[in-house]
Structure 1
Amino acid sequence: MTTRGACFITLEGLDGAGKSTHIPWIEDRLRQAGVDLLSTREPGGTPLGETLRELLLHKPMDLRTETLLMFAARNEHWRTRILPALEQGRWVLCDRYTDASFAYQGGGRGLGAEPVRILEEWVQQGRGPDCTLLFDVPLATARERLSRGRARSDRFEREDAAFFERTRQAYHARAAADPDRFRVIDARRNLEEIRAELGGILDGLLRARGHAPASGGLDPA
């Protein structure tokens, strides 16, 4: 749980699900409602975290090393940026958080959930997101989007279909186990439909914390 008035929102999904497309729109809508917002990402979010991000995305390493580096970056991020912001009553919007480790390392890489859970408890001590937006698309859609997307793919994006299927299944298992926190977004739809749903979710979070909902947002086109 976060400090009263604060709200910790995370965005999750397969590479290619399109979640990053909606981040500027979500930021704009929250700020229009008067929210004092920290927008950040994982891995990264701090100078040390961004250095570790480059290693994690582009250097081959053992699975245990990968998982420990993810949590090293997360601990720095949590302790020096996210937790202080929440304790000040600010909102935090984070592109990926610990659910990504359950999905990618625990599921996709086959590490299993228990090592991730132990590290989660050690770093976060029972605290975590208030709301997680899981952008979900079929595997074929995600891979097709990736194939026409980025000039430089990272080592996660280059994984095979079986890896992504295990990752997606792990995300769905997380969502099923915590339905009060997760909102599963069908990201196959057009921007207007997705943003109408996102707007309703954000308005509910705003009202619950004493903010008037924003009147709109960025043009969806």
Structure 2
Amino acid sequence: MSKKSIIVFEGIEGTGKSHHINNVAKYLKKNNKKFIQIREPGGSKNAEKIRKLILSNKSTFNNHTDLLLYLSARSENIELIKKNNGKKIILIDRFTDSTIAYQHYGMGVNLKFIKNINDFLLKDININFTFLCTVNQKNMKNRLLSRKNLNRYDQFNSNFYDKVQKGFLKILRRNPKKYMKIDSNLPIEFNDEIVLSKIDDLT
């Protein structure tokens, strides 16, 4: 019987997390396992509208507005998650850890404020497992340079991404049993095998 896990893929830009979630989705489909795949910001119809606003290079929001927009997108996604929770495997490209890593560790927004709203939105929704993809600065920069279009969050300085990645690692260390760190500096085929092996345990 298939487990109906909520599985999240986290990491800074250029870590390959989107590749891995798409690869997992193909794997689950091939094995006839029911799942939904969403991203943050984005996912539901209204959340995708907010995504365009957040990531637009024309946007100049202050840090608190940025946070509240991300949480607004999450609020729109919660109904979609609730509807499928316990019925299908749920794959999420970025979730609550990203909010803490980027907005708290990266931008300095009050952690208690972020956690209070996250707790209010999630209530009884529990993440079963998180893949945290990491990358060094050199590889991150090279991968961003290869992209045709860069959004607002692809263009911060190296110090910002360093603070965010260290923030992710702090989150992981608090509950290591529910996380797997993926070293994205290693060959992607090698990491694909590691991720899919763990997916077999989770689903």
TM tier, shorter chain? over 0.9
User: If the length of structure 2 is used for normalisation, what is the TM-score?
Assistant: 0.93
Distance 1:5 1:37 in 2: 11
Alpha-carbon distance, 1:126 to partner: 4.7
Which residue is 1:123 aligned to? 121
Alignment of 1:72-87 (within 5 A): 72-79=72-79, 81-87=80-86
| Secondary structure, aligned partner of 1:156 | helix
- Summarize the alignment of residues 30-41 of structure 1 with structure 2, pairs less than 5 Å apart: 30-41=28-39
Aligned with 2:199: secondary structure?
A: helix
Report the Cα offset of residue 128 of structure 1. Answer: 2.9
Q: Superposition RMSD on alpha carbons, in Å?
A: 1.5
Q: Distance in 2 between matches of 1:38 and 1:101?
A: 21
Deviation string 1:65-94 (CA, Å, 9 cap, x unpaired) is 111111111011012x1111114x111111
Report the 3-state secondary structure (helix = DSSP H, G, I; strand = E; otherwise coil) of the residue aligned with 1:100: helix
Query: Alignment partner of 1:45: what SS?
Result: coil
CA distance in 2, matches of 1:93, 1:171: 19
2:146 aligned residue: 148
Give me the whole-angstrom Cα distance separating, in 2, the residues matched to 1:61 and 1:191: 35
Structure 2 regions of 5+ residues with no counterpart? none
Shift in alpha-carbon separation, 1:37–1:78, aligned structure 2, 3 A: same
Q: Deviations over 1:95-137 (max 9, x none)?
A: 1111110111111112142221111111112523111111111
The aligned counterpart of 1:57 is 55
Displacement, 1:20?
A: 1.4
Cα distance in 1 between the residues matched to 2:78 and 2:129: 16
Within 5 A, what are the aligned runs for 1:66-215? Answer: 66-79=66-79, 81-87=80-86, 89-149=87-147, 151-206=148-203
> What runs of 5+ residues in structure 1 fail to find an aligned partner?
207-221
What is the CA–CA distance in structure 2 between the aligned matches of 1:123 and 1:130, rounded to whole Å?
A: 17
Residue 85 of structure 2 aligns to a residue whose secondary structure is helix
Q: Distance in 2 between matches of 1:38 and 1:48?
A: 17
Q: CA deviation at 1:140?
A: 2.4
The structure 1 segments of at least 4 consecutive aligned residues displaced by more than 2 Å after TM superposition are 31-34
Deviations 1:136-188 (A, max 9, x none): 11122212211222x22111111111110110011001111111211111111
Q: Which residue of 2 aligns with 1:43?
A: 41
TM-score by length of 1: 0.86
Aligned partners of 2:126 and 2:115: how far apart in 1? 12
Matching residue's letter, 1:91: I
| CA drift at 1:31 | 2.2
Deviation of the 1:191 alpha carbon: 2.1
